[in-house]
Amino acid sequence: MNESTERDSSLGNQRRRRDRGDRPRGLLLLPHLLTTAGLGFGFFAIVMAFAGKNDLSAGAIVFAILCDIFDGRVARLAKSTSKFGGEYDSIADTVSFGVAPAMLAVSAGNLQVLGRAGWVMAFLYTACAALRLARFNVQPSRYVGRFEGLPSPSAAGMIASTQLFVSFVRERGFAVNVPEYAIAGATALLGLLMVSSIPYRSFKELDLRHSFLTLVFVVFAVSLVILEPSVTLFSIGILYTIHGPIEWLIRQRSGRRLEEVAPTMNETPQG
């Protein structure tokens, strides 16, 4: 290597260090570690579902959701977002929010008794989750402040929180017997909501720094989750899952339209 090449290499290394702001390497790896932890929780949820330990499986899915919430935010704070990170996150989410919830539904809902129909319904959920994640990567939402279709972590959370809520009710002496075909149908419906075009609020516009009422609401919600997680998470899951279709129906009747995202130079407007 000649002197000119060494100098160019040195300048390149200095430029890369300057672009990273000399951030510690551990901080750059933290988002990937969180994604890996979420993948681990998803794998653990599948194992627990096979073992018939449905509450542990549901709890692992909830922890996978928490990892998914924080990995993207940490990546943005550390300025370490990358195409690799996005692809890795989607692959991990397919396991944690596509396969694991379907296996939990099969185990907790006793879908084996339905034969082929049971596992087909569960697979439909998994396939829809994978399609939803792929669409999210290549096609941004059409509307400002909205997801297009039910987010996969929300669908997974709905299945997990339902299991935790049913266990909570049964522990208090109430018999809960839901028909297997109803569980299979609800699982498939969640999958179809994921690939639908129904807009769901993203709540990314929430301003906790400048809105006191929003901060109070968030603190109140977190307090309820800590006080009684199974009931609170189930209630939040139900409200979020149904709010999208309800708002969509109201807009259809009133004729109101959502604000659409302006197309970029690289996007072709759709007619």
Q: What is the pTM of this model?
A: 0.83
Which of these ranges, 71-75, 210-214, 266-270, has the smallest mean pLDDT? Answer: 266-270
Strands 199-201 and 146-148, bridge-based pairing? antiparallel
Across the range 29-47, mean pLDDT stands at 93
Q: How big is the CA angle at 69 (ends 68 and 74), to the nearest 5 degrees?
A: 95
Domain ranges of the chain: 25-254
Residue 34 contacts residue 74 (beta carbons within 8 Å): yes
Q: What is the pLDDT of residue 15?
A: 52
Q: What is the pLDDT of residue 219?
A: 81
Q: Residues 136-142: contacts with CB within 8 Å, 24+ apart? A: 136/90, 137/86, 137/87, 137/90, 140/261, 141/199, 141/202, 141/261, 142/199, 142/260, 142/261
**Domain 25-254 class, CATH top level:** mainly alpha
Across the range 142-163, mean pLDDT stands at 92
Which of these ranges, 79-93, 169-183, 240-254, has the smallest mean pLDDT? Answer: 79-93
- Name the residue type at position 14: Q
- Which one has a higher pLDDT value, 205 or 16? 205
Report whether pLDDT(266) > 50: no
CA 9 to chain centroid: 41
Which of these ranges, 130-134, 217-221, 252-256, has the smallest mean pLDDT? Answer: 217-221
Residue 148 contacts residue 201 (beta carbons within 8 Å): no
Report whether pLDDT(22) > 70: no
- To the nearest whole number, what is the mean pLDDT of the chain? 84
> Which contiguous run of DSSP H or E holds residue 238?
helix 229-254
Residue 150 contacts residue 264 (beta carbons within 8 Å): no
Three-state DSSP state, 57 = helix
Q: What is the pLDDT of residue 137?
A: 84
